[in-house]
Amino acid sequence: MQTVRGKSRRCVLLVVVSLILIIAVGSLLAVLALQFDPPQDGRSWDTSTPVPVADNLDWQAVGGDAGQTKYSPLAQITAANVGRLQVAWTYRTGEMERRGEAINWSKFEATPIIADNKLVLCTPFNRVAALDPATGEEFWVFDAEIDTSLKPINNLGCRGLARWVDTAASPDTPCAERLYMATNDRRLFALDAHTGARCEDFGENGEVIVIPLAETHDPLEVHINAAPAVVGDVVVVGSSIADNERSAAASGRVHAFDTRTGKLSWKFDPVPRSNGKTGAGNVWSSISADPDRDLVFLPTSSPSPDFFGGEREGDESLANSIVAVRASTGAVVWSFQTVHHDLWDYDIPAAPALFTLRRDGGEIPAMAFATKSAFLFVLDRETGKPLYPVIERSVPQTDVPGERTSPTQPFSTLPTLARQSFSAEEAFGIIGIDKMKCRSMLENIRNEGIFTPPSLGGSALVPSRAGGAEWGGVAIDPTSNRLIVNTNSFPIEIIKLIPREEYDRSPDWPAFSAPQTGARYAYESKQAFSQLGMPCTPPPWGLISAIDLDTGKLAWRKPLGTTSSQAPFGIALNWGTPNFGGPLMTAGGLVFIAATTDDRLRALRVDDGEEIWAVDLPASAQASPMTYAVGGRQYVVLAAGGHGMMGTKKGDYVIAYALPGPVKAN
């Protein structure tokens, strides 16, 4: 389950506190303004009329393709002209006005896809809109009519849809091209891509129930945010589970349905429950596929409950793993586990991206993926064997009665993607008392680096369960094999186990606690902040990195996000911010990314990570951008609507950017 807690907003608000102190000093304000808001570098942009580009409407999955590479061969927009991008069109979904208070517990994370030559997206409330990709004009709308009266545990969301073409049907047959959307209330819809009408031959009137309410604890325990994956004639669906409410959480089964009829083709359970004392292990994020090899790759999560595993009996070997499953049958082909007996909520948050590794004059079908624990792994996608060494290292052991810990954990030898340890001596603060408070907090807990087990006195979780890497995943340029990934490096999370009797005696535990009903311990979570509300960890708090996959070397790393939207006078301290949503890479030598809490869309140069363009958005964008070309022009499109758990600015915008000038198709 994705868990991003509301206190993350404090990271971006901490700047206000620090700047109040700066303003009190007076003269330091001007100094910092010069230091952190550098002058323009005098770059002159290419002002020539863009050369028309052939239509390219191939962004037909949320990651661009079945392999989730998030890469486009389009190159009309380049480092030389990106500074001239302007809004081409804006579409409002109407959800801000339509949903009322429910908008506050939603997250607009959708990446549009192209289907039937239309731009298609879903809102957090499972309302689907099909737009003209050149103008943003609305063609049709479908509403799944979910119940928004109940506040979900993990926020309402829909990250995208999947597309399928029935090659056995005439193109003008209704539902010859279909869209599949999984919903917050655990249904799967099949829609005609041309009209938005339900495909009546799919299930009951165009829908199937993926997970019946009877299999869940209550209507809020399980929902589905991620886009399904289509391989051949099956559509594969995971689920998102509130995995800390009870030990015996709902099953994390993955379901595959026939694309035409909606009949169940197969199901796969990552954590079979032999004793009814555990669940989850689910696939809450995206799924990648290799249609030529009849494979789907499932990124599984931790078993329930997250922070105490003493009641878990049975096999956990497919949890916290990439599991390669035969798409046609559901049979497991291979698996690779990234965390043994997970006690840290270190799910694999995104699907692996598929690419070809060049080595010793040969080519190896490969995959790369990043984890919440800030590791990057590269595997052979046919066998699951690591293509860069993975070493089992000894890790700290539990002192909690009834718990067990794995003696070792797998460590990738590729560059780590974010901070994995933090000592009390490194405590951050703008004044001495700030540092002293943080040091005192960290000196009194278990803090032995990554994989420090939860304890009764409190243990440091570094990275926090918000990552490291998150659901936006990685992007890969297949021509250069350069990988881009954004990560969080903020803050330390402190997990404290609470004996069952003690927890049950009191009704007044803070919001950041969970009962883990059925386990011997509940837990309390807090993030390490100073008296002034600043993280105890020093900046940067958000990062973006480039890795050369052919050599395994770090190419560059930069802070991601500034304080410009939160600080007085728009001062932009380059400290990085929490970030959720992923990157887009293009053949124009650019990385486009929003994701940050400073409400901006950025373009970075792939070669060195330099930010060469940024634009303020009308709302925060915790979504991944996509791109396509139509009418001779390349467009970059992004959903901007904010995130309930992060507390970022809400909206219901879909915005397309393009270069100005008269451009006609070739």
What residues are annotated to the active site?
345
| CA dist list (Å): 295 to 33, 362, 382, 593 | 53, 22, 9, 29
Which residue in 105, 299, 82, 112 sits closest to 193, CA to CA?
112
Distance between CA atoms of residues 611 and 58, nearest Å: 27
Residue 220: CB partners within 8 Å, gap ≥ 6? 150, 151, 152, 153, 242
| CA dist list (Å): 131 to 113, 128, 627 | 10, 10, 14
Distance between CA atoms of residues 634 and 328, nearest Å: 36
Distance between CA atoms of residues 594 and 602, nearest Å: 6
DSSP 506-562: -S---SSEE--BTSSEEEEEEE-B-TTS-BSSPSP-EEEEEEETTTTEEEEEEE---
Q: How, if at all, do strands 288-290 and 295-299 pair?
A: antiparallel
The identity of residue 215, as a single letter, is E
Residue 315: CB partners within 8 Å, gap ≥ 6? 271, 272
The answer to whether the beta carbons of residues 634 and 656 sit under 8 Å apart is no
Task: Name the region of 590 (left: φ>0; alpha: ψ -120 to 50; beta: rest).
Answer: beta
Distance between CA atoms of residues 257 and 593, nearest Å: 33
Distance between CA atoms of residues 180 and 464, nearest Å: 33
CB 462: neighbour CB atoms within 10 A? Answer: 26
Which residue in 297, 247, 237, 235 sits closest to 271, CA to CA?
247
Q: Give the CA angle between residues 355, 361, 362 to the nearest 5°.
A: 45
Distance between CA atoms of residues 456 and 251, nearest Å: 28
Angle between helices 9-25 and 27-36 (to 10 degrees): 130
Structure tokens at 8: 């993350």
3-state secondary structure of 50: coil
How remote is the C-alpha of 618 from its chain's centroid?
21
Distance between CA atoms of residues 178 and 195, nearest Å: 10
Structure tokens at 643: 């995130």
The identity of residue 502, as a single letter, is E
